[in-house]
Structure 1
């Protein structure tokens, strides 16, 4: 099959190459999916630039998929050949920037009536947002929640999920169109320009000096560090990016009794790395894998009934993956960049 692979770590313009590669072979729990659409996530760019674990090249990125089932493993239940499905391939195997991809069926669901581009915009960011809000922060109606980078892929879905739950939202953005999108389209209660506003002062004013009890950090770096200044005592910060806490910050977290958690939807399938692509301890992981499929099904239903609106800002042809990566790395992408692989 054809795949648009990376041949090494490095700049997008230098490492992408269209190649003939071996067709994926299903494990007992896998679906083989003919890829219709995929999308770009910051995770793709991080792996392309420098992997946290050793990688073999050529490597196929692409950790969202909407496509059609063409083959299935012997222990697959609930799916049939010809089903149109969506899912998020694990980042520890080859992804969906190819004609076909193997994906564990327990982290998939049916695409329903969703358009191919819309469907591919949901899995990774949707599961990330859902798990961060409901499994980590455990949001409830009436909560004040700070959601950073509200116009981004994860952020724009997180705001909608939290608003649907009855939360009050403070979010951050910088471009005029992003600020307007968060306020007018997503319905955030307060939208702060992080380049101009004193975020800590504004949050303290909005919360009448109490600080933010729940913070979802979608930016990392300085954004995460500054969140420590306005998280309330006994509060909770959930970050979706690797962050470092120095001794002083750790002491600050300790004194205020702050919970710090990390949301990475791939962690539940990290056993892939230790078994040549076969998930170790599959029976123990079955419930967790099913959980992601169930979350995806809920998200699809919410989109179908208009409660959730994924935003696709641009659709690229898969021959133009390097351009899509460069666009992602320049920043300020609203919603998702989708890639069309086959028709």
Structure 2
């Protein structure tokens, strides 16, 4: 099969190569999917630049997929050959930047009437946002939640999910276009320009000096560290990044009795029989079909131009998702 692989860690312009790779073979819990579309996530760029887990090359990235089921493992339930599905391949196996990909069936759902592009924009960021808000932060109607980078992949769905639950949403952006999108399209209650405004002062003012009880960090680094400054006593920060906490930050968390949790949906499924991710994906598909949730696709690239898509992602100016369309489908399988 054709795949656009990385041959080493490094800049997008130098490490991608379109080549032939072996087709995946279904293990017991797998669907083998003929790829129609996939997307680019910051996770792809982090792995391409330098992975904390050792990788074998060539490596196929791409951790979203919309496609057609062409093979099923012996344990698969709820799917049929020829189903059009969406899913999120685990980052610990080859991904969907290829003609075919194998995905654990509990990480998949039927794609419904969604377009191929919209469908591929949902899985990784949708599951991440859903689990971070509902399973980690346990948001409820009336809560105020700070969601960083509201125009980004996870952020733009997280803002919409929080508003659907009935929360007041404070989000951050910097460009005028992004701020307008967060306020007008996504419905965020407060949009803070993190370059020009003092985010801590603004959050403390909005919370009458109490600080934010619920914070979703989608940026990491100094943004995470600053979250501690304006988190409420007994507050909760959920990060989707591998943030490091030094002794000083740990002490600040301790003194304010702040809960720190992490959200990573790409690991091995601990109990495939529960189909948790599949249930979330099914719910997200229904919300998009009814117009409750509106994923944003900023641009669509062909698989051959995957390096350009990575370079655009790394500008930090993407709103929503960048989708990759596979134009080299193997019609014979």
TM-score normalised by L of structure 1? 0.94
Deviations 1:158-213 (A, max 9, x none): 00000000000000000000000000000100000000000000001011111100
Of stretches 48-57 and 306-315 in structure 1, the one that deviates more from structure 2 is 48-57
State the Cα distance separating 1:141 from its structure 2 match.
Answer: 0.3
Give the Cα–Cα distance (whole angstroms) in 2 for the partners of residues 198 and 246 of structure 1.
Answer: 24
Matches within 5 A, 1:195-274: 195-269=195-269
Give the Cα–Cα distance (whole angstroms) in 1 for the partners of residues 225 and 267 of structure 2.
Answer: 24
Structure 1 residue ranges (4+ consecutive) displaced by more than 2 angstroms after TM superposition:
none
Asked if the contact 2:90/2:268 (under 8 Å) is kept, the reply is: no
Asked if the contact 2:39/2:65 (under 8 Å) is kept, the reply is: yes
- What is the match of residue 171 of structure 2? 171
Give the Cα–Cα distance (whole angstroms) in 2 for the partners of residues 126 and 148 of structure 1.
Answer: 15
Asked if the contact 2:213/2:233 (under 8 Å) is kept, the reply is: yes
State the Cα distance separating 1:268 from its structure 2 match.
Answer: 4.1
- What is the match of residue 138 of structure 2? 138
Give the Cα–Cα distance (whole angstroms) in 2 for the partners of residues 286 and 334 of structure 1.
Answer: 33
The question of 1:90 aligning with 2:86 is answered no
Give the Cα–Cα distance (whole angstroms) in 2 for the partners of residues 162 and 130 of structure 1.
Answer: 9
The question of 1:325 aligning with 2:310 is answered yes
Asked if the contact 1:317/1:341 (under 8 Å) is kept, the reply is: yes
Asked if the contact 1:174/1:195 (under 8 Å) is kept, the reply is: yes
The question of 1:285 aligning with 2:285 is answered no
Matches within 5 A, 1:30-179: 30-179=30-179
Asked if the contact 2:90/2:267 (under 8 Å) is kept, the reply is: no
Give the Cα–Cα distance (whole angstroms) in 2 for the partners of residues 225 and 30 of structure 1.
Answer: 39
Two-structure CA RMSD over aligned residues (Å): 0.9
The question of 1:294 aligning with 2:254 is answered no
State the Cα distance separating 1:287 from its structure 2 match.
Answer: 4.2
State the Cα distance separating 1:267 from its structure 2 match.
Answer: 2.8
